[in-house]
């Protein structure tokens, strides 16, 4: 039986040949904890017939990788952002003058089939040589140091809170209900009572002089809450937990000193090596913000204003900690995102529209762990549920429309947009009047309903 003739316009060719080579001297590296697989372009190193080699991860091995890449005349490298294993090699290659493209592993998935480190490296090299990989966001030197310190501080705060829970558990096991009648056992009154218990005091009446006048619980409630069974093993766990809590507080204070030093260095790098004296420039009086007990002891808001050029903490829902976290995560150069929509998309605070065949299949937010900046914007939005201003009114409208999670993401997107425009255009926050906002929203709803009414009338038969 004869084969059917091919279509005249059909050409037999290798699909791989359709890709244009954009980076002819590009290499790909598959990052690992113990092994780095490196792939170079075919024929780039005449003295070595191998195009893929495996190296160790010791410092001497990293230097060997850089030497081999130079011998192969490689000028750009793509690697996946695997854990923190990429950072030592990334820094070394940058110092050697080789451009590094750090790629999200989700965008460099290998083809189906047998998976090895060498095949992954070859696939990354092929994609990078064709210009199909985009580099992830990378902070500058000063921002990288600040981000490391701020993230470490957040870890210390989280660890200290774990021991607060253990203190509450020890008190509960002794049926000491102190944590149910006062809001925070790590406050002035709570710590004084815990220290008195650890010092040997057992009579409830003797704890009353330690109670601060602002405590809303009555004396009778406090006396009842301090009657329990003073078991030795639970007193021991209470003592140890309180000791660890105090230890972490001390470490947090030491870290705050280091963070302040880095903020001063960051400010100097932004102002050509000079530190500002006094308040930064002529501006409106700062909108007062409630202090959080976990805030650093120094004036974070002052440093943020000097570095950013605007008072970002003035935005509704923002505080010093969230502002510090956002600065550490995204820096001050907002031009890395062309528009606020790109910024919102990078934060994953917008719908992930999936369109196929001209139809919208899904518009859910992408399921991935939010970055530190996205978490800060979401926390700022979550604090606006009962606020008496236009952003609080917007949150409540979004909550009525799609639920609490929907409202948090929508409001966080709004706050991030305001932040982007403030820093990018160096414009201070201008609060909108609540009544004017409600009137404007009502007029938009009226125009929408009138347009729908006209459409319905137009569809009626004559």
Q: Is residue 394 one of the residues assigned to a domain?
A: yes
**Segments forming the whole domain that contains residue 114:** 20-129
Shared domain for 104 and 26, answered yes or no, is: yes
Both 341 and 431 in a single domain?
yes
Does residue 41 fall inside a structural domain?
yes
Counting residues of the chain whose pLDDT is more than 90, the rounded percentage is 59
Whether the pLDDT of residue 362 is over 80: the answer is no
Do 213 and 320 lie in a common domain? no
Task: State the pLDDT at residue 287.
Answer: 62
Report yes or no on 231 lying in a domain.
yes
Q: Which of 53-67, 111-125, 207-221, 270-284 has the lowest mean pLDDT?
A: 270-284
What is the rounded distance in angstroms from the CA atom of residue 337 to the CA atom of residue 343? 6
- Asked if residue 251 belongs to a domain, the reply is yes
Whether 169 and 212 share a structural domain = yes
Q: Mean pLDDT across the chain, nearest whole number?
A: 87
Of 129, 159, 187, at which residue does a domain stop?
129
Residues 230 and 333 in one domain: no
Q: Which of 129, 154, 173 is the last residue of a domain?
A: 129
For the ranges 59-63, 83-87, 351-355, which has the lowest average pLDDT? 351-355
CATH number, domain containing residue 192: 1.10.287
Neighbours of 420 (CB within 10 A): 20
What pLDDT is recorded for position 280? Answer: 44
Give the mean model confidence (pLDDT) for residues 93-110: 84
pLDDT at 273 over 80: no
Are 235 and 319 found together in one domain? Answer: no
Q: Provide the token pair at 419.
A: 């932040």
Is 250 found in the same domain as 158?
yes
In this structure, is residue 14 part of a structural domain? no
Name the percent of the chain lying above pLDDT 70.
90
Q: Cα-Cα-Cα-Cα dihedral of 101, 104, 105, 110, to 10°?
A: -60
> Which residues does 294 contact at the CB level (< 8 Å), separation at least 6?
157, 321
- Residue 291: DSSP 8-state: P
Number of domains, the chain: 3
Please indicate, yes or no, whether residues 120 and 167 belong to a single structural domain of this protein: no
Q: What tens digit of pLDDT does each residue of 282-336 get?
A: 445 556 676 777 889 899 999 999 999 999 999 999 999 999 999 999 999 999 9
Cα 148 to Cα 232, 248, 310, 346, 379: the distances in Å are 41, 18, 24, 20, 20
Residue 219 lies in a domain: yes
Structural domain includes residue 165: yes
Mean pLDDT of 431-450: 88
CA dist 268 and 274 (Å) reads 5
- Residue 364: what pLDDT? 80
For 240-337, where are the E strands, in sequence order?
A: none
The secondary structure element, H or E, covering residue 104 is none
Q: Do 261 and 339 belong together in one domain?
A: no
Task: Report yes or no on 8 lying in a domain.
Answer: no
CATH value at residue 55: 3.30.420.140
Going by pLDDT thresholds of 50, 70 and 90, the confidence category of residue 8 is: very low
Q: pLDDT at position 69, please?
A: 93
> Do 205 and 104 share a domain, yes or no?
no
First-last CA distance in the chain: 64
Q: What is the pLDDT of residues 236-253, one digit of tens each?
A: 999 999 999 999 999 999
Q: Does residue 76 sit in the same domain as residue 155? A: no
User: Where do we find the tokens 């280091």?
Assistant: 258
Judgement on whether residues 436 and 384 belong to the same structural domain of the protein? yes
């Amino acid at each position: 039986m004869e084969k059917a003739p091919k279509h005249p316009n059909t050409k037999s060719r290798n699909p791989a040949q359709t890709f244009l080579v954009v980076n002819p001297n590009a290499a790909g590296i598959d990052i690992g904890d113990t092994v780095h697989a490196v792939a170079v372009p075919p024929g780039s190193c005449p003295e070595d017939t191998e195009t893929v080699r495996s190296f160790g991860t010791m410092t001497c091995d990293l230097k060997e990788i850089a030497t081999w890449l130079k011998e192969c005349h490689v000028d750009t490298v793509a690697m996946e952002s695997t854990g923190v294993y990429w950072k030592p090699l990334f820094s070394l290659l940058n110092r050697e003058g080789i451009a590094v493209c750090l790629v999200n592993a989700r965008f460099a998935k290998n083809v189906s089939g047998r998976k090895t480190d060498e095949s992954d490296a070859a696939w990354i090299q092929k994609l990078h040589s064709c210009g199909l990989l985009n580099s992830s966001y990378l902070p500058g030197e000063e921002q990288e140091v600040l981000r490391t310190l701020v993230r470490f501080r957040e870890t210390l705060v989280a660890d200290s809170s774990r021991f607060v829970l253990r203190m509450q558990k020890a008190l509960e096991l002794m049926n000491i209900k102190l944590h149910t009648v006062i809001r925070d056992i790590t406050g002035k009154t709570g710590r004084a009572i815990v220290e008195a218990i650890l010092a040997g005091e057992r009579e409830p009446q003797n704890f009353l002089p330690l109670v601060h006048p602002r405590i809303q619980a009555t004396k009778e409630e406090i006396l009842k809450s301090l009657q329990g069974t003073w078991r030795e093993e639970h007193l021991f766990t209470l003592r140890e937990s309180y000791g660890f809590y105090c230890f972490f507080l001390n470490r947090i204070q030491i870290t705050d000193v280091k963070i302040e030093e880095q903020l001063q260095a960051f400010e100097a790098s932004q102002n050509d090596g000079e530190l500002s004296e006094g308040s930064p420039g002529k501006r409106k009086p700062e909108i007062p913000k409630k202090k959080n007990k976990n805030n650093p002891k120094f004036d974070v808001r002052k440093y943020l204003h000097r570095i950013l050029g605007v008072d970002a903490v003035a935005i509704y829902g923002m505080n010093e900690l969230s502002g510090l976290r956002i600065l550490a995560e995204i820096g001050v150069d907002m031009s890395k995102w062309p528009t606020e929509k790109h910024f919102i998309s990078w934060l994953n605070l917008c719908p992930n529209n999936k369109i196929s065949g001209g139809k919208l299949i899904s518009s859910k937010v992408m399921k991935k762990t939010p970055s530190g900046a996205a978490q800060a914007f979401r926390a700022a939005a979550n604090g606006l549920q009962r606020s008496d201003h236009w952003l609080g009114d917007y949150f409540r409208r979004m909550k009525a429309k799609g639920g609490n999670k929907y409202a948090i993401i929508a409001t966080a997107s709004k706050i991030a947009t305001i932040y982007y425009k403030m820093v990018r255009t160096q414009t201070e926050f201008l609060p909108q009047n609540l009544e004017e906002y409600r009137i404007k929203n009502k007029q938009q709803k009226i125009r929408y309903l009138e347009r729908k009414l006209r459409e319905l009338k137009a569809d009626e038969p004559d």
